[in-house]
Amino acid sequence: MVRADGLRRVVVTGMGVTTPIGLDVEEFWASLKAGRCGVGRIENFPLEDLYIHIAGEIRGFDPSVHVKSKQIQYGERYSWFAGRAADEAWTMSGLPRPYANPYRSCCIIGSGAGGYSTVESAYRSLFIENKRATHPLTLLRIIGSSASAHVGIEYGIKGPTFGTCSACSTATHAIGVTLDYIRNGIVDVGVAGASEAVLTYGSMRTWQAMRVLSPEGCYPFSKKRNGTVLAEGAGILVLEELEHARRRGAPILAEVLGFGMSSDSKDMVNPDIDGPRMAMQFALDNASIDPSEVDYLNAHGTATKLNDVNETNAIKMVFGDYAKKLAISSTKSMHGHLLGAGGGVEAVACIKAINEGFVPPTIGLEEPDPDCDLDYVPNVGREKKVRYAMSNSFAFGGLNAVLVFGPAPA
């Protein structure tokens, strides 16, 4: 089945997450509904002289228990998270293992940082412990495309397989590229998303140096916000061409209706308004829907001073008077900022909002910033019919990507 523009329609038949508030979709969604916070004191590595002591950690993750694939168990922490989430998504989709038509499938799983913990471990071995060599799999574990290669091998995917890298927009770009591949007939099935595992001592030192981390918590759009909170995890979708999914009786969770992307082309750190505005508008145009038809917007909402005001103003420019009626929330207030993986996890939140008729809250929002004056669903989620949902991802360097989801086709 094709759209009015002649392109094939694309649906979601599987989704998976690995997050600080849930190692699968149901646990993750239950946490969002309950307003549960996964940010806490760091336990997975020594804090030493760090002054930022909080993060959204995934604690007690054991690859021998939580990752089914022996192949992926030889990978790195970010590959483990991707493997866990991909297994949930693939299993949910009901696709065969290996995929029967391998060159008609793709696997695009990105990462903003790749094997960060492996890099740090290798440097400690060489320069602190004075070892003569690193682990023999160090190189393979570091590479930012390793997660996509691991997952592609697991499911016998032989079509386009690579990783995207666009900082906090990585997963959204991966999903958007996969969407275009299926729409244009390059593949029929795609695994898409991103994974991130940057919670290490060295990483925290580099983020501390930028002065963008909060020592207290992630409070998007709040007057008390004072920075974001790093987190780790993965968010993965399985996308399919609509008729391909129907022929095999697959569960159809949602339709991917629109994708928009832009670059601020202005500054590496300070966000612009025009870039996010145009990415949202492009996504709406691509979806062929009016702004007033969007029922829920999962904001980028990082809880940094500049981003939240900038995103608020961009939303107002795109949605006009309707912006005041739009339900908006930043689920980062609960799971933290998963960097490149954020868009994948937040896409799952949007799809669940459509399927469950519920919009998750922005917790910790007792007193909004006067410059952030929209409906951010403060503190408690609400029952609400959601037909169309938008997911925003705006990254360092001014790299913007936006997705629009709709209900499963009748």
Catalytic residues: 168, 300, 337
Which residues in 147-181 are b (16+ Cβ under 10 Å) and which e?
Answer: bbbbbbbbbebbbbbbbbbbbbbbbbbbbbbbbeb
**Dist. CA 380–CA 329, nearest whole Å:** 10
**Dist. CA 358–CA 151, nearest whole Å:** 31
Token pair in block for residue 224? 């008390």
- For the chain, what percentages of helix, strand and coil (3-state, to nearest 5) are there? 40, 20, 40
CB atoms within 10 A of CB 60: 10
Return the sign of the alpha-carbon dihedral for residues 270, 111, 279, 304.
Answer: negative
Distance, C-alpha 126 to centroid of its chain: 33
**Dist. CA 362–CA 350, nearest whole Å:** 14
Q: How far is CA 119 from CA 56, 138, 151, 201, 407, in A?
A: 21, 8, 21, 12, 42
**Dist. CA 376–CA 36, nearest whole Å:** 17
